[in-house]
Structure 1
Amino acid sequence: MSTAPDNSDAPDEDAKKLAETREIHTRILRFQLGVEESRAYWQRVDAADPQRAWQPALEERWFGAVSESRVKVIMREMQARYDAYPPALHALANWEAMAPATRAVICHWHLQLADPLYRAFTGDFLEERRQALDPTVSREQVLRWVSRGNEERWGRTTRVAFASKLLTAAYNAGLVASTRDPRPLQYPRVSDRALSYMVHLLRELHIEGSLLDNPYLRSVGLSGTFLEDRLRTLPNITLRRMGHLVEFNTLTPDLSAWILRSHELSEAS
Structure 2
Amino acid sequence: MPRPSETTAFHTRLLKCSLEVEHCRAYWHRVAEAADDTITQIAFKEYWFGARSLPRVTRLINDFRHRFDQFPPAMSILHRWGTMDSSTRRLICHWHLQLADRLYREFTGGFLVDRYSAGRTEMTRDVVVRWIDHSAPQRWTTATRIQFARKLLFSAGEAGILKGTRDPREWQAPRVTDEALSYILYLLREIQFQGTLIDNPYLASVGVTGPELERRSRTFPDCPLRRQGELFEFSWRYKDLAEWAEARILHGESQLRETA
Query: Is the structural similarity TM-score above 0.5?
Result: yes
Pair 1:241-2:241 in alignment: no
Q: 2:197 maps to what in 1?
A: 211
- Distance verdict in 2 for CA 1:21–1:149, change over 3 Å: closer
The equivalences for 1:48-59 within 5 A come to 53-59=39-45
Runs of 4+ in structure 1 deviating by more than 6 angstroms, as ranges, are none
1:7 matched residue in structure 2: none
State the shift of 1:52 in Å: 5.5
Deviation at 1:232, TM superposition (A): 3.5
- Correspondence for 1:119: 105
What is the aligned counterpart of 2:48 among 34, 46, 62?
Answer: 62
Out of 52-61 and 98-107, give the one that drifted further: 52-61
Q: Which has the higher helix share?
A: 2
User: Which of 33, 36, 48 is matched with 2:22 structurally?
Assistant: 36
Q: TM-score, normalised by structure 1?
A: 0.87
Unaligned residue ranges in structure 2 (runs of 5+): 251-260
Residue among 12, 26, 45 paired with 2:31? 45
Match of 1:164, as an amino acid?
Answer: R
What's the offset of the Cα at 1:38? 0.5
- Does the CA contact (< 8 Å) of 1:130 and 1:185 recur in 2? yes
Q: 2:6 aligns with which of 20, 37, 57?
A: 20
When the two chains are superposed, the root-mean-square deviation of aligned CA atoms in Å is 1.9
Contact 1:47–1:89 (8 Å) recurs in 2: no
Corresponding residue SS for 1:119 = helix
The answer as to 2:127 corresponding to 1:141 is yes
Question: What is the letter of the counterpart of residue 66 of structure 2?
Answer: A
Using the aligned pairs only, state the percent identity: 47
- The count of residues paired between Structure 1 and Structure 2 equals 250
Which of 52, 58, 61 in structure 2 is aligned with 1:75? 61
Instruction: Say which SS state the counterpart of residue 111 (structure 2) adopts.
Output: helix
Q: Is the 8 A contact 1:47 1:93 kept in 2?
A: no
Distance 1:155 1:143, change over 3 A: same
**Structure 2 equivalent of residue 129 of structure 1:** 115
The alpha-carbon deviation at position 133 of structure 1 amounts to: 3.7
Q: Which amino acid letter does the alignment assign opposite residue 232 of structure 1?
A: R
Matches of 1:51 and 1:249, distance apart in 2: 42
Cα deviation 1:121-167 (Å, max 9, x = unaligned): 00110012212444111111101001115342111100111111100
Unpaired segments ≥5 residues, structure 1:
1-14, 265-269
Correspondence 1:180 to 2:180 = no
Deviation at 1:70, TM superposition (A): 0.3
CA distance in structure 1 between the partners assigned to 2:135 and 2:160 by the alignment? 28
Select which of 166, 179, 187 maps to 1:193. Answer: 179
Larger RCO: 1 or 2 (CA < 8 Å, sep 6+): 1
Q: In the alignment, is residue 94 of structure 1 matched against residue 74 of structure 2?
A: no
